[in-house]
A = this chain, B = another copy of it.
């Protein structure tokens, strides 16, 4: 018997019970493999359920068995390999706990982010991810759900953040470049927010610490194309620049391309060091040197903390909610 044709009302446990000539409870027993049920009865119920195309309501079930946990993962752009890696790590950590993950890609758009925030709170037990709008707005929209922010500061009963600490890593990178004789190190920062990024601050501090003048900085879109055109512009204005640090690996890969186009050999004529530590960096030519983040533990940490916030377990403290970056030298610088 095929499942009802058109315009079908939902098949409930009641329908199955009636069809099999038993009570609802018996149906429940049969479906959930509880004992205490006669073999033939069970089979009859199962047959009836199949024939009717019965599917338990996840809502009704969730209401009484309060077990399933779902977390919302908010990502600005899944196609950006960095976020892909974080997402994959979060999925893995969640799976290990038997949690379900609802993924929302906000497409780098403030509107989409707002839309997501509006619906997400009613669908999940905790939220993890990246946001661009003011914390108090996030707080308002997430109404009571625990939130773990990545690369953003906010600590309250309900909010936690994972801090990305690249200070040492960036200093190591700049020190390395300086030791190689580079005097003019430029940077490609990202143009997302109004102010310069924290990574830029690390860069500035590191160059100063090496006794170098502040190198030229150019802000650009957080993409391969952004890095490509920004480096061309930067080099046009500052041909003396012989080394480059970028906000992230994607932009660095764009810079590699621009360098090739401009006839600058890497690392001989231009040393390039990115930030993030993407796997992708090993695939380009030359393999990209980078200040690497452990994206895996980043995602895992976020999920772990969400769990603690959720169960009222002892939340991790600021010192534990940090992911440190470290210099990973390959061939580009």
Contacts and interface: CB of A to CB of B under 8 A. Distances in A.
Interface of A: 2-3, 6-8, 10, 53-63, 66, 68, 70, 78-79, 81, 84-85, 87-88, 91-92, 95, 98, 100-105, 107, 112, 119, 121-124, 143-145, 157-158, 224, 253, 257, 260, 279-280, 283-285, 312
Contacts of A143: 55
A250 to B, nearest CB: 9
A260 B285 CA distance: 10
A244 B212 CA distance: 49
A312 B107 CA distance: 30
Tell me how many chains of this kind the complex includes.
2
Nearest to A98: B119
A54 to B, nearest CB: 7
A157 B5 CA distance: 10
A53 B105 CA distance: 28
Given A55-B121, A92-B105, 13 more contacts: A3-B158, A6-B312, A55-B145, A63-B63, A78-B88, A79-B88, A79-B279, A84-B84, A88-B105, A92-B107, A95-B105, A260-B285, A284-B284
Nearest to A287: B257
Contact of A102 (B102, B119, B283, B312): B102
A122 B56 contact: yes
A280 B280 CA distance: 8
Contacts of A60: 59, 63
26 contacts: A3-B158, A6-B312, A7-B312, A10-B66, A53-B144, A57-B63, A58-B62, A59-B59, A59-B62, A59-B63, A79-B85, A91-B103, A91-B104, A92-B105, A95-B105, A95-B112, A100-B119, A100-B123, A101-B104, A253-B283, A257-B283, A280-B280, A280-B283, A283-B283, A284-B285, A285-B285
Contacts of A123: 58, 68, 100
A146 to B, nearest CB: 10
Given A78-B91, A283-B280, A312-B6, A144 B253 contact: no
A138 B123 CA distance: 27
A202 to B, nearest CB: 26
A60 to B, nearest CB: 6
Contacts of A284: 283-285
A287 to B, nearest CB: 10
Instruction: Select the residue from A56, A81, A105, A112 with max chain B CB neighbours within 10 A.
Output: A105
A109 to B, nearest CB: 11
A22 to B, nearest CB: 19
Contacts of A144: 3, 53-55
A143 to B, nearest CB: 6
